[in-house]
Chain A
Amino acid sequence: MTHHILIADDEPNIVISLEYLMQREGFRVSIARDGDEALATILRERPALVLLDVMMPKKSGFEVCQAVRAEEAVAHTLILMLSAKGRDTDVAKGLGLGADAYMTKPFSTKALVQKVREMLESRA
């Protein structure tokens, strides 16, 4: 079964790589360019996993994460936070708000793919 993955990030330079990478791994990929769009897409398309950037316009990744966990229909969505905010307080906040994992930029795509697979398999 192909998993559906949402990439929520406002930076096209990372989205292009992540999109290519995830499609190459055989996932179905959607893109969201800001927080509002991310939340709407999650509610509409119910992806299995979200690669969620923290610093986005309109709604931050933290807010999106919180909203998703509060909405029962989508509360189980896997969330992997990607952020340039690398202070331990930021990581703690992300996990505290309900993210399943947190990766600090820069990261190797290999590690990212591995992480995504682990998360999906643990759920399966």
Chain B
Amino acid sequence: MKPQLRLPLVIAALGGGMALLALGSGFAVWATLETAERDALAALLAPRAMLVVMIWLAVFGALAWGLARAFAHFVEAPAQLHEQAQVLLTSVAGKGAAVGDLQAQGNAANRGLADTLNALALQRTQLQRDVARQVALASRRIEQERSRLSTLMAELTQAVLVCNRDGMILLYNSRARAQFRGGAGATPTAGRAELIGLGRSIYAVFDRALLAHAWQTLEHRLQAGVSDASTLFVTRLRSGALLRVQMAAVRQPADDATNGSGFVLLLDDITQQVEQESLRDRLLLGLTEGSRASLGNLQAALDMLDLPDLEAPMRERFQAVVRDELATMTARVQSLADDVLAGMKTRWPLEDMLGADLVSAGLRRIESLGTLLASADDVDATLWLRVDSYTLLQALAYLAGRLADEYEVKSVALRLRAAGARAQLDLVWTGVAMSTETVMNWQLDAMRSAADATPLTLRDVVERHGGEFWFERERVRHEAFFRFLLPCADAQAPVHPTQAARSDDRPEFYDFDLFQTSAETRALDDRLLAELSYTVFDTETTGLDPSEGDEIIQIGATRIVNGKLLRGECFEQLVDPERALAAASIAVHGIQPGMLAGQPKIIDVLPVFHAFAHDTVLVAHNAAFDMRFLQLKEAATGLRFDQPVLDTLLLSAWVHPNQASHRLEAIAERVGVAVTGRHTALGDALVTAEVFLALVPLLQAKGVHTLGEARAASLQTFQARLTY
């Protein structure tokens, strides 16, 4: 019943009741009267009927009014309060009905109730604000910690990988990535694919059984109650590198003490170290065993020489033996000394540094002393040094400082040249020179300057570099200089990984949300689109018809993991098609024939791309075209791209069946993706990836959630388009 009808009905009932009462009582009195009495009463009442009705109406009116007041007071006021309270209950803090909105009406109890509700609502709002503030604070803290962690990881010289229990990579640093770059059997030119990436399997680089064994060991220790359990093993990668791996469990915070939720791998490349150590062992063994033999020969010959009855020719022969063995021993010791020196060079942790960078840092450091000017003079910009830059800069500042303080030198220059396998770093000044004795003292004094004091001496710094230091004078030019002889970086030393792999997308190095994904080997078709890993790719080709001999000339690909586009994990490779380019195709992709000379062949590139796309769903725009090129190479490479494929063209056509164009640009514009760098394979792949990410929610809105559903939808549109 409608609330506003309630009161009139009640009043009507009152009126009815009163009418019944009046009529009933009148009829009852009427029935007891004699006819004469009835006439008398009628005569009496007839002229006053109006009055009776008036009285009745007045009483009715008064009662109705009272009823209406009571109704408002006892029924409507609580009902209103109820409604307002409900609004308040469903309102979100800061939105909808404000606190204190409840109107105190009705009787005292009702008014009290309203006040109490108001007070409760106020409390609730304060609590909500409090919680929101706490949440914001905590997430900011987490964000800070995350970024601190990722920065730390990026700067670590150790390679770090964090995996969940299924071996899926959740975090890695640039070192780790550099360690595994290229992968098994990849040719150097085609080796740009990454084996390490978010959501990728660690088993692509490590033997599954090996990690399983280490994990078991770790679990045993955890169960035994070792709090900081970790386990060590050494393994050789397919690339030949020898790694020392430390594995530690990532543990659930509180209740679940025995079950690690994942593991951390700390990797040290000990290839060089082991090589050096085994070299040292070989040297040592060579020294002991080789010397023993020589000493044996010497001793025997000497014993013979001691014999009194030795004839002259025999004596000659034994003396020759002694001379010969002495020469052998001398040569051995010399070669050993050379090797040991070479080994010593690498003992102190030296870093590779561009010589020019060191010089400019040195100039800044010297000028910051404030007492003299510094300039660069004849710096070989191509020279890479292997130095401990910190102490070396200290040494330069120390020398310059003493020159200024004790010899009033006003300006110095730095010079850097190659000298054979080493580099000469000179600190040059004009004018006064000092005695060799002074220079000797400077070398042995602790290097103190205004800025810092260190117990290190100049000699320590030089020894640390396995270098030399001396003072020279060029009388003709009236110049004097200190010369440091420093080691150069090995020509074949790898590019410093932190420089090679650094990108602006540092946060993409980790995704702890992957901890939450389960290992259920559900059929891929049942998996949600939002939680799958994708390789989004595009190819540029010599033409449109692979069966007529057209070939791939470029492959570009990027990855989507956990709904995020990983711009830092891309694949881009030009391919030598081993045939001429059609002029028409050059107009499309802008790749000139000259750019393809010397690039790897498709037969070398596809294995790398296959590894890149491993364990992911392939996505491409007009995928059938690209897939056809890949499939035609299956026989030659023996590699099948048999993972599920999604086509942004078909998906778009299913989402927006009434749109005329499903070209990549058109879709991108429709779903609000900015188009940049198109018509390079990687540029197109990135746009396709963003388009795909934008399509996923549109698909969900139309009820397509899983891969299977998306494939069914694609098939549907495909068939629909075929019938046109």
Contact = CB atoms under 8 A, between A and B. Distances in A.
A84 B296 contact: yes
Interface stretch (A33-41, A60-68, A72-80, A103-111): A103-111
Given A84-B292, A104-B292, A13 B324 contact: yes
Contact of B290 (A17, A84, A104, A108): A84
A24 B298 CA distance: 19
A108 B303 contact: yes
Interface in A47-90: 55, 82, 84-86
A11 interface: yes
A20 B292 contact: no
A120 interface: no
Contact of B321 (A13, A21, A108, A109): A13
Contacts of A43: none
A92 interface: no
Contacts of B314: 20
B296 A16 contact: no
Contacts of B324: 13
A91 interface: no
Q: Which of A17, A18, A82, A108 has the most CB of B within 10 A?
A: A17
Nearest to B292: A84
B300 interface: yes
Interface string B310-338: 00001001100100110000000000000
Contacts of A11: 293, 297
B288 interface: yes
Contacts of B290: 84
A50 B342 CA distance: 43
B307 interface: yes
Q: Which of B288, B297, B300, B304 has the most CB of A within 10 A?
A: B300
Nearest to B309: A24
A55 B289 CA distance: 10
Given A13-B301, A13-B324, A18-B300, A106 B318 contact: no
A11 B314 CA distance: 17
B303 A105 contact: no
Nearest to A86: B292
Contact of A109 (B289, B295, B304, B317): B304
Interface residues of B, number: 22
B368 interface: no
Contact of B299 (A16, A24, A84, A107): A107
Nearest to B299: A106
A102 to B, nearest CB: 13
A14 B303 contact: no
A20 B301 CA distance: 10
B292 A17 contact: no
A106 B296 CA distance: 4
A21 B292 contact: no
A21 B300 contact: yes
Interface in B432-467: none
Q: Which of A13, A20, A106 has the most CB of B within 10 A?
A: A13
A113 to B, nearest CB: 10
Interface string B601-637: 0000000000000000000000000000000000000
Given A16-B321, A17-B318, A105 B304 contact: no
Contact of A84 (B289, B304, B317, B325): B289
A16 B298 CA distance: 11
Interface string A96-124: 00000000111111100000000000000
B289 A17 contact: no
Contact of A17 (B288, B291, B295, B303): B303
B304 A14 contact: no
B295 A16 contact: no
Nearest to A103: B296
B307 A17 contact: no
A13 to B, nearest CB: 4
A105 B325 contact: no
Nearest to A20: B304
B292 A14 contact: no
B288 A86 contact: yes
B297 A14 contact: yes
A17 B320 CA distance: 12
B307 A105 contact: no
A85 B300 contact: no
Contacts of B298: 106
Given A20-B304, A109-B303, A109-B304, A13 B289 contact: no
B289 A86 contact: yes
B307 A82 contact: no
A108 B303 CA distance: 7
A65 B585 CA distance: 76
A25 to B, nearest CB: 11
A105 B301 contact: no
A24 B292 contact: no
Interface string B275-298: 000000000000011111101111
A48 B170 CA distance: 73
Contacts of A18: 300
A104 B288 CA distance: 12
A17 B293 contact: no
Given A21-B304, A108-B303, A109-B303, A14 B289 contact: no
A84 B136 CA distance: 75
Q: Which of A24, A85, A109 has the most CB of B within 10 A?
A: A109
A22 to B, nearest CB: 11
Contacts of B299: 106-109
B293 A84 contact: yes
A24 B311 CA distance: 12
B302 to A, nearest CB: 9
Contacts of B293: 11, 14, 55, 84, 105
Contacts of B304: 17, 20-21, 109
A69 B118 CA distance: 107
Contacts of A85: 289
Nearest to B296: A105
Given A13-B321, A84-B290, A106 B295 contact: yes
A47 B479 CA distance: 79
Given A13-B325, A84-B292, A24 B301 contact: no
A110 B303 contact: yes
A54 B578 CA distance: 59
The 4 closest A-B pairs by CB, nearest first: A105-B296, A17-B300, A84-B292, A106-B295
Given A84-B292, A86-B292, A109-B299, 16 more contacts: A11-B297, A13-B301, A16-B317, A16-B321, A17-B301, A17-B321, A20-B314, A21-B300, A21-B303, A86-B289, A104-B292, A105-B295, A105-B297, A106-B296, A107-B296, A108-B299
28 contacts: A11-B297, A13-B297, A14-B296, A16-B317, A16-B318, A17-B297, A17-B300, A17-B303, A20-B304, A20-B314, A21-B300, A21-B304, A84-B291, A84-B293, A86-B288, A104-B292, A105-B292, A105-B293, A106-B297, A106-B298, A106-B299, A106-B300, A107-B296, A107-B299, A108-B299, A109-B299, A109-B303, A110-B303
Interface of A: 11, 13-14, 16-18, 20-21, 24, 55, 82, 84-86, 104-110
